[in-house]
Structures are given as structure tokens and as C-alpha cells.
Amino acid sequence: MADSEFAIPRDTEVGGVWRTSRRTLGLEKPVLMGVLNITPDSFSDGGRFFSRDAALRRLEEMQAEGADIVDVGGESTRPGSAPVSDEEELRRVMPVIEAAALQVDVPVSIDTTKASVARAALAAGAEIVNDISGLRFDSELAELAAESGAGMVLMHIRGKPRTMQERIHYDDLLGEIVEGLRESTERALARGCRRDQLVVDPGIGFGKTAEHNLVIINELGRVCGLGFPVMVGPSRKSFIGKTLGLEVEDRLEASMAACVVALLRGARIFRVHDVVQARRALDMAEAIVRGSSGAEPA
């Protein structure tokens, strides 16, 4: 196997940055997006951070642990989950986002498919919109990102969270994912977004089988070929449980393995629950591949 197959991209069309409404994030090292679910029913930590005080404590912890971004979401998108109203989603996330703008230095991302929620979150200090629908549920998100300059994650999904794991079929798994992401990015660009605002996500666990998710990670280079930074979110997901027979609370090491392989295949942004462990695993993998510890010789 050629050494270049494992090389982390150095000179890409992306240019090595991701611009948000308030700053430029360099992609020269792995970027960690810490997950903060303000929901009672998320698959991994539903209910743990549902109160404002608990959410703010966790937000500050993630910054201290090495998170580069904190992703705040008020609607569970686990398989089988039911949607919530705009009003309920706002009620959950806004107190946390408003406080976060004053209490932490890292950018806040709003994990939503609704323009009304994203608009309020951006006005309160959020800098990124993480849209699991890739603009398929609410195309107004593109205009909002263009107007505000917010960073935007465009993810691939087949169907909607409530039904996405039913009757899963692809004739060409990676080809269909790449084409879906191409359509999402073209839609965003046509509505005024800049290329350096956009990040793509193949949507691990969203309308895919466990076997599909393994293939996506291993063949992630095809997604990188779109020319946008790639984010992945394998953390604690059910494909790990199905592959190794593990419950959610026992999936840490396997989550880190999935992230490291995704890094070797070209991913630069990682949406994770376990920030400390991901920071160590990904920074070490990056140092090994680049052949430098970053430390002065003894």
C-alpha cells in the first residue's frame, strides 16, 4: 500500500481555512466541534444538559478540554425522533447561546434545519449553522448564511430523522452522497454564499446502514474531492454498536478509531462528544503522519 494513501492533504483547493461570521478558522490541525445537546431524547446524552446551568457548565468544560467549536442543538435527530416546533427549539437553545456569547471564546454553532432558529441564534452570537438536511428542509438557510457570513455545514441525509433508517437503498453509495452534497453546495453558492463559508458532511448514521458507514469513512477521499473541508461525526453512533456489539457508554475507543481513520482519509473537522480523548488521538495521529512532534529537540 502506497504511503501517499495515508497522507493528510497539505495543499488542497480548500485553502486551509473556514470562515465564520466573526473569524477565520485554520484547518492546519484537526478542528474539534464539541456536541452540546439541549434535548431530553438525544441518543447519547439526552437529558444530561437539558437545564441551562448544566449546559453552560458543559460548554465551558468543552472549551477547557480543547474544543474549537461548540455545536448547540435543541432538536434530536436520532433515528425515529419526532420534530419539535420552532418555538420549542428556540426556548431550549437561546438561553444557552446568549450566555455562551459572553462566557466562552470559541465559536458557537447552531445545529438546526430551521431558518427562524438559525436567525435568532446568529443574532445572539452564534457563528456557524450546522444543517443536517443540506438545505433540503429549509432553503432560506442559504440566504441567511450569505447575508450574515456565517459558516455553514451541509450534511447528506436520506429522508428525515423519523424515517431515515427505513428501507435504506443506494445503487452507488459514495456516488449518490457526493452528488447530493454537490447539489447542496451549488444551491448555497447560487444564493450568495462564498466557498470558504462551506463545509460538507457525508452524514454518518443518517439514512445509512452500519456497513454503509464503514465504507463512507474508508472512502472519504471521494467526498474530499468536492473541494470543500469535510466534517465527520461518527462519535458514539449505532454503527459502532452494531459492528462491535457495544452499548453507547462503551463506544469511546471505537469512536476515536473512526475519527483517526477519517483524518487519514482527509477529514479536517470532527463532531465529537468526548473532546479530551479526541484532541489527544487526532493531534497524535496528525503528528505521526506529518513526522513532527512540534517540540524542540532535547
Beta bridge partners of 243: none
Whether the per-residue pLDDT at 48 is higher than 90: the answer is no
pLDDT of 4 > 50? The answer is no
Among residues 38, 20, 118, the alpha carbon closest in space to that of 76 is found at: 38
Q: Which of 17-21, 76-80, 202-206, 251-255 has the lowest mean pLDDT?
A: 76-80
Catalytic residues: 237, 271
pLDDT tens-digit readout, 284-296: 999 999 886 655 5
Provide mean pLDDT across the span 76-84.
77
**pTM of structure:** 0.90
Look up the CATH number of domain 19-289. 3.20.20.20
Name the residue among 72, 70, 122 with its Cα closest to residue 93: 72
Residues 26, 240: Cα–Cα separation, whole Å = 30
Distance CA 264, CA 273 (A): 20
- Alpha helix segments (H runs only) across 125-274: 140-148, 173-190, 210-218, 221-224, 238-244, 252-264
**Is pLDDT of 15 > 60?**
no
- 3-class secondary structure, 232: strand
pLDDT category of residue 100 using cuts at 50, 70 and 90: confident
